[in-house]
């Protein structure tokens, strides 16, 4: 039974907003009330579809007055339950706020509304010869507002860093409806606390991002992709070391296990570009200067990987289409996993120099704890970030499988803590990882976060229960 909203509130909505502003059908609530993690029981009271910052502000002023909780929702591709409504909240979807301004070529920036889809922003910038470099498999559905609220990473972090590096300005609506303009688009501004960054990566718990000025850059001139088969983890790291010293600028260093490759081949009908099978595969992308001398240096670099027996096999893309095929394999892994069934996911990080030791211990842990359960590991090795997936066997009961994964998580996060890593490198904490936050953040850090939350959201109405609980 869905929560009923106060009659006075509903009549004010009817009076002050367009007819289609607040929708309450069961189907709409189910669709907009959840993210792609799809593991929580959803209970959304209504979905609001504002068209402007003013409407967001007016709505929040009302929900504040009536003490109603609000969950911000972007493209809902999040995997931590951050955009999921589980307690009768009103979901505020930004999808109608998707306008993009003209690209400022001189300032290398772009004003966008929060609901602009990431991939459309890429295309809009590309037409002006520029790039917003946050790139990942869910870009066709995710929103800029969601990317900033999760501080999204992606496949090029090794070169460009995370979303927080690519925002110059923000417009934010606070839980009481107040509009905060942090959008002066200044590259340099040393006047104290950078308030913009409070709203980046805090998963909509402090304010609703309604617009942003994105920082852009020139795209790389010439890209070269390589796909390698290697024997084992040790070889992945030998190859990474060689790549760090290679005659190019490293743009991506991605890895997937043999199990991941097999899954992509079966579920997505994609084929490995290599005949040779290995224990793991590496997709390396580099920016190369288009000159004969560089090409020669690159070929030599490639040759020595074989003579030193670092790789079992490897290939270099001869066309953008071939490069896209390599990427389809790597980016197909999450989709293939969705197709395979219920998958318990983790996305952890440790510093790159400690990653090899971590993986050795992780392999031992998973072999002992996930007996008879298929696990799939892939990720952004160059950023120290691994995506760990355990697939529920057909015969296993969902609840007992989830329970088992939860106990394995405790051990996994102990290990992450031992290596001073993070329990969430990209996907965030949301609801699903909240119980484990203490493995990555000290009690004092959590207390400070609670204090900031209390200051900006004293009634705990915005995305309540996400990341932290109030005191």
Residues within the interface to ligand FAD (CB under 6 A):
35-36, 71-79, 82-83, 94, 114, 136-138, 142-143, 145-147, 149-150, 152-154, 203-204, 208-209, 334, 426-427, 430, 463, 466
Half-sphere exposure of 94 (CA within 13 A, CB side): 33
Do β-strands 249-257 and 179-182 pair in parallel, antiparallel, or remain unpaired? unpaired
- CA dist 97 → 32, 75, 112 (Å): 15, 12, 9
- Minimum separation from the CB atom of position 118 to ligand FAD (A): 8
Judge whether 175 and 164 are in contact, CB under 8 Å.
no
- Minimum separation from the CB atom of position 419 to ligand FAD (A): 20
Among 312, 415, 417, smallest CA distance to 360 is for 415
Q: Which is nearer to ligand FAD, 8 or 194 (CB)?
A: 194
Q: Which is nearer to ligand FAD, 149 or 272 (CB)?
A: 149
Structure tokens at 117: 């889809």
Q: What are phi and psi of 339, to 5 degrees?
A: -75, -25
Q: Which is nearer to ligand FAD, 441 or 466 (CB)?
A: 466
- Minimum separation from the CB atom of position 53 to ligand FAD (A): 11
- Minimum separation from the CB atom of position 360 to ligand FAD (A): 24
Q: Which is nearer to ligand FAD, 317 or 389 (CB)?
A: 389
Q: Report the largest interatomic distance among the alpha carbons of the chain, rounded to a whole angstrom.
A: 76
- Minimum separation from the CB atom of position 204 to ligand FAD (A): 3
Report H helices in 269-397.
Answer: 292-307, 320-340, 352-369
Structure tokens at 78: 């999040």
Alpha carbon 184 to its chain's center: 26
Q: Which is nearer to ligand FAD, 110 or 316 (CB)?
A: 110
Q: Which is nearer to ligand FAD, 71 or 229 (CB)?
A: 71
Q: Which is nearer to ligand FAD, 267 or 295 (CB)?
A: 267
- Minimum separation from the CB atom of position 307 to ligand FAD (A): 34
Q: What are phi and psi of 177, to 5 degrees?
A: 100, -5
Nearest residue to the partner ligand FAD, using Cβ: 146
Among 275, 284, 279, smallest CA distance to 258 is for 279
Region of residue 463 (phi > 0: left; psi between -120 and 50: alpha; otherwise: beta): left
Q: Which is nearer to ligand FAD, 409 or 426 (CB)?
A: 426
Please count the residues of the chain: 471
- Minimum separation from the CB atom of position 60 to ligand FAD (A): 12
- Minimum separation from the CB atom of position 190 to ligand FAD (A): 26
């Amino acid at each position: 039974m869905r929560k009923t909203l106060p009659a006075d509130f509903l009549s004010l909505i009817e009076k002050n907003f367009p007819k289609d502003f607040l929708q309450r059908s069961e189907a709409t609530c189910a669709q907009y009330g959840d993210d792609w993690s799809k593991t929580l029981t959803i209970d959304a009271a209504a979905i609001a579809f504002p068209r402007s910052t003013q409407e967001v502000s007016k709505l929040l002023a009302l929900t504040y007055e009536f003490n109603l909780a609000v969950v911000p929702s972007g493209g809902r591709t999040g995997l931590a339950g951050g955009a999921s409504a589980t307690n009768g909240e009103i979901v505020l979807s930004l999808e109608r706020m998707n306008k993009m301004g003209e690209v400022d070529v001189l300032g290398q920036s772009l004003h966008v509304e929060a609901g602009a889809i990431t991939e459309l922003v890429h295309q809009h910038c590309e037409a002006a010869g520029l790039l917003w470099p946050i790139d990942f498999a869910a870009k066709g559905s995710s929103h800029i507002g969601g990317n900033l609220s999760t501080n999204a990473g992606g496949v090029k972090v090794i070169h460009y860093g995370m979303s927080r590096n690519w925002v110059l300005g923000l417009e934010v609506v606070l839980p009481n409806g107040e509009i905060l303009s942090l959008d002066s688009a200044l590259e340099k501004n040393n006047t104290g606390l950078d308030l913009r960054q409070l709203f980046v990566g805090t998963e909509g718990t402090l304010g609703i991002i309604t617009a942003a000025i994105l920082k852009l850059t020139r795209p790389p001139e010439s890209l070269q992709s390589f796909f390698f088969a290697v024997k084992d983890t040790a070889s992945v790291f030998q190859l990474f070391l060689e790549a760090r010293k290679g005659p190019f600028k490293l743009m991506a260093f991605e890895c997937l296990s043999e199990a991941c490759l097999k899954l992509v081949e079966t579920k997505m009908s994609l084929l490995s570009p290599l005949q040779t099978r290995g224990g793991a595969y590496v997709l390396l992308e580099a920016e190369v200067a288009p000159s004969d001398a560089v090409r020669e240096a690159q070929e030599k670099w490639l040759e020595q990987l074989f003579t030193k027996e670092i790789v079992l096999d490897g290939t270099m893309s001869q066309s953008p289409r071939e490069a896209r095929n390599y990427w389809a394999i790597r980016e197909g892994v999450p989709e293939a996993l969705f197709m395979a069934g219920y998958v318990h996911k983790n996305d952890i990080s440790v510093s790159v120099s400690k990653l090899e030791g971590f993986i050795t211990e992780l392999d031992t842990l998973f072999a002992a704890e996930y007996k008879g359960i298929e696990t799939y590991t892939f990720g952004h090795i160059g950023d120290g970030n691994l995506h760990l997936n355990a697939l529920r066997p057909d015969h296993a009961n969902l609840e007992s499988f989830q329970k088992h994964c939860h106990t394995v998580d405790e051990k996994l996060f102990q290990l992450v803590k031992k290596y001073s890593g993070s329990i969430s490198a990209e996907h965030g904490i949301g609801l699903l990882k909240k119980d484990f936050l203490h493995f990555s953040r000290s009690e004092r850090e959590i207390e400070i976060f609670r204090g900031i939350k209390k200051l900006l959201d004293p009634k705990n109405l915005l995305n309540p229960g996400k990341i932290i609980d109030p005191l």
